[in-house]
């Protein structure tokens, strides 16, 4: 992110899947959006208190349990509206409790977003505005949150450092996933990003080195 970035990002790893829940903070207002509160809600709230920020939005990238399983509980504590994912993920959102039980996990709920998102929408936290980019492939309703001023994106499970999202799950589409990355993310330029799991990277680095979607690999 730029030196004088309008935002700060704090990662809280939640659930047995070590999912990167993010506290995205508007530096001017200290208002915070929680991205993908998959679970461990008390820990998320402890982190918000530690940084002295106010949770005012809940943003969901897609409907898998490790990304949305704690959204309902967090909303109950904060009254923050839930925005996202896209409505194409409604089945996955409604299936969170069942999928959690299959994984031996408890305390995860489905939710009804206050706002389903679609490509081209914007969301706001404090004085910052974020572009919503619909990036199907891992799930049909997956969205990415992008802030131009900070040159930063929260990409969920679309793209990872040296990898890409799984496309062998119910509702996944490997061709759509590659299109989402190459036609919707790459044109944004060398954007820094934090994925749903693992380490941060940048689109530029992945175009050079990612074994699945680097320019060299895709040109073969």
Q: Label the pairing between strands 115-117 and 159-160.
A: unpaired
Is 1 within the bounds of a domain? Answer: no
Please write down the long-range contacts of 91-99, taking CB distance under 8 Å and 24 or more positions apart: 91/63, 91/171, 92/62, 92/63, 92/64, 92/139, 92/141, 92/171, 93/60, 93/63, 93/68, 95/63, 96/63, 96/64, 96/65, 96/68, 96/69, 99/64, 99/65
Number of domains in the chain: 1
Is 106 within the bounds of a domain? Answer: yes
CATH number at residue 211: 3.60.15.10
Is 206 within the bounds of a domain? Answer: yes
**pLDDT tens-digit map of 8-50:** 999 999 999 999 999 999 999 999 999 999 999 999 999 999 9
**pTM of this prediction?**
0.96
**pLDDT tens-digit map of 93-125:** 999 999 999 999 988 999 999 999 999 999 999
Is 72 within the bounds of a domain? Answer: yes
pLDDT of 107: 87
Domain membership of residue 16 as a residue range:
7-218
Is 185 within the bounds of a domain? Answer: yes
Is 2 within the bounds of a domain? Answer: no
**pLDDT tens-digit map of 157-186:** 999 999 999 999 988 999 999 999 999 999
Is 159 within the bounds of a domain? Answer: yes
Is 121 within the bounds of a domain? Answer: yes
């Amino acid at each position: 992110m730029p030196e004088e970035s309008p935002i700060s990002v704090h990662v809280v790893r939640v659930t047995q899947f070590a999912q990167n829940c993010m506290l995205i903070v508007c530096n001017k207002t200290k208002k915070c959006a929680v991205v993908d509160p998959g679970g461990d809600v008390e820990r998320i709230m402890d982190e918000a208190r530690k940084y002295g920020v106010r949770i005012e939005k809940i943003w969901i990238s897609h409907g898998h349990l490790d990304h949305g399983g704690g959204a309902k509980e967090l909303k109950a504590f904060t009254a923050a509206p839930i925005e996202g994912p896209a409505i194409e993920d409604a089945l996955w959102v409604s299936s969170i409790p069942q999928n959690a039980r299959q994984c031996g996990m408890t305390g995860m709920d489905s939710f009804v977003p206050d706002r389903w998102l679609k490509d081209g929408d914007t969301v706001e936290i404090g004085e910052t505005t974020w572009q919503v980019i619909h990036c199907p492939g891992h799930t049909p309703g997956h969205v990415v949150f992008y802030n131009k001023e900070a040159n930063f994106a929260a990409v969920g499970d679309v793209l990872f450092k040296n990898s890409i999202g799984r496309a062998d799950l119910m509702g996944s589409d490997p061709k759509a996933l590659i299109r989402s990355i190459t036609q919707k993310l790459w044109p944004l330029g060398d954007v820094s990003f934090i994925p749903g799991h693992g380490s941060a990277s940048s689109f530029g680095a992945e175009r050079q080195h990612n074994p699945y979607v680097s320019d060299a690999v895709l040109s073969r």
